[in-house]
Amino acid sequence: MPQSILFKHASVVFPTEVATANVLVEDGKIIDVDAAETTQCDQTIDARGKFLMPGVIDDQVHFRDPGLTHKEDLATASHACAAGGVTTFLEMPNTKPPAITVEGVRQKEALAADKSLVNYGFYIGATVDNVAELQRAEDVPGIKIFIGSSTGNMLVDEQEALERIFSETTLPICAHCEDESTVRANAARLKDVCDVAVHSQIRDVAAAVTATRRSIDLSLRHQHRFHVLHVSTGEELQYLAGTQPYVTAEVCPHHLFFNVDDYQRLGSLVQMNPSIKTAEDNRRLWQGLMDGQIQVIATDHAPHTLEEKQQPYPASPSGLPAVENSLALMLNQVAEDRCSIVQVAQWMCDAPARVWGIVGKGRIAVGYDADLVLVDMQQQRTIRDEQQHTKSRWSPWHGTTLTGWPVATWVGGRCVFDEHGFDERVRGSKPRFDHHRGGYWATPDGIGV
C-alpha cells in the first residue's frame, strides 16, 4: 500500500473554488495542496482533466444491519458507497434490534469495523423513556427521533417526551418529521384507495409541515441544535428562516428529482416517507438549496428487495436505494449548468461534516483526512439495475443516463474503488465527533483537525 500519493494536475474542488493543483497525501492525511510536480512519493496519479473532490458524507442511510440483512448489509452497502464516491456514512438506529442504547451503538460499530470499506457512524435512537441512555451517549453523531413513521417505542410524538429529550440532552438531534396524527387521520379517510399514488395524500404537506414546525419550536425554545431530515415540501422552507444558530436542514435526491407525476411510471418504486410531492415542491426545494435555506444533500438510502417493493399498495414498503448514484445525480446537474461542482461539495461533503462535528473531513485542505473522490465530468453512463452494488440490485433511476461520474475513491489515503474494482482489504474507521465546536453555523471555515 502506498504511504504517499501525489495527485498531479487535478482540478481540485476547494471550499470556494476549483483550481488546478498538486495534492500530496501521506499516511492518510492531506499534507500539501500546492506540492511541487517533482515531489518524491510512493505513487503519482496524473489527474489531468479530472476533478478531485472530498469524499461524500451521507448523513442519512438505512443499511439494515443487523436484523434485516436480506435487504442490505454493511458490506454490500459500503461497496455501494465506495462506488458512488461516499467515503463516510451515518446510519439510522431503526435496525433489529434498534440502536437505542450505547451498547447497541457499539455493537453496530463493531459490525462496521469488520465489514465496511468506508468510514461509519451510528446515531442513537430516542424512545419515550431512554433519556438517561441518550445522556450517556458520547462519540456518536447525534440523536435520532422518529416523530412519525416508526413502530413501538421508537415513535416519539407525545409532547412531554419530546420536551424531555430536547431539554435534558446535549447531543445534536435530527428527526423524521411527519405528524403521526395527521397521517393516521388521512389513512383512515383514504383506507379504501389502493393506488400507490394515494401515499402522497396520506403523507401530505400538512403532515410534514406540522411536525417540522413543532420540532423547530422545540429546538429554538430549548436552544438545542436540530437537523431537519429529508425536507419534502416547499412549505417547510418558511419555517427554516431565521433559525440560526440552532437549525439546519437537508433534502434528498428523490425529493429533488421525483414528484407525484412519477407514480404512473414507477409506482411503488418511488414510495417514500416522507412522500414525494409536486413538481412545484421540486422547484422550491431546489431554490431552497441555492438560497442556503437547506444546507445538506443526503440520500435516506433505504433498500427493500424488488419483490417486497412490488407488492400491491399498501403492503409495499417505503424506501429506495440511492447511495451509489447520489453524487452522479448531482454531477449531472453540474453538467446541465444548474449548479456548480463547488456547491455539490458544499452540500454533500463540507456541510454534513460541520453539522455533525466530523473532525478533519469534508474539505480538501492541509491536515484533513485523505477521503477523496476522482470525478470524470466527461463520462456518460446509464444506471442499470443489474450493475448496482446494493444488495437490493435495483434503482428507481434505472435507464437514466448521467454525465459526470466518480471514477476512483480513497478512504484514509487508500484506494478502495477504481476502474479495476474494489480493494477488499480496505476498512473504514469511525471518525471523531466533536460537538463542542458548535455545529454548522459555528464552523464556516470547516471542521478542522
In one letter, which amino acid is 330? Answer: M
Residue 412's region, left for phi above 0, alpha for psi from -120 to 50, else beta, is left
Q: In sequence order, what are the residues at sequence separation of 6 or more whose Cβ sits closer than 8 angstroms to the Cβ of residue 320?
A: 254, 269, 270, 272, 301, 302, 303, 395, 396
423 is an active site residue: no
Query: Per residue in 218-248, is it b (16+ CB within 10 Å) or e — as a string?
Result: bbeebebbbbbbbbbbbbbbebbeebeebbb
Helix (H, G, I), strand (E, B) or coil at 260: helix
Peptide linkage before 93 cis (omega within 30 of 0): no
For residue 98, whether the previous peptide bond is cis, meaning omega lies within 30 degrees of 0, is: no
Rounded to 5 degrees, what angle do the CA atoms 48, 328, 93 make? 125
Helix (H) or strand (E) holding 120, with range, is: strand 119-122
Task: Report the alpha-carbon distance of residue 299 to residue 337 in Å, rounded.
Answer: 22
**Nearest-angstrom CA–CA distance, 284 and 300:** 20
Give the H or E element holding residue 12: strand 4-13
Catalytic, out of 300, 350, 369, 371: 300
- Cβ atoms 173, 227 nearer than 8 A: yes
Burial class (CB in 10 A: 0-12, 13-18, 19+), 411: buried
Distance in angstroms (rounded) separating the CA atoms of residues 129 and 131: 6
d(CA 435, CA 43): 36
- Could you give the residue numbers annotated as active site? 300
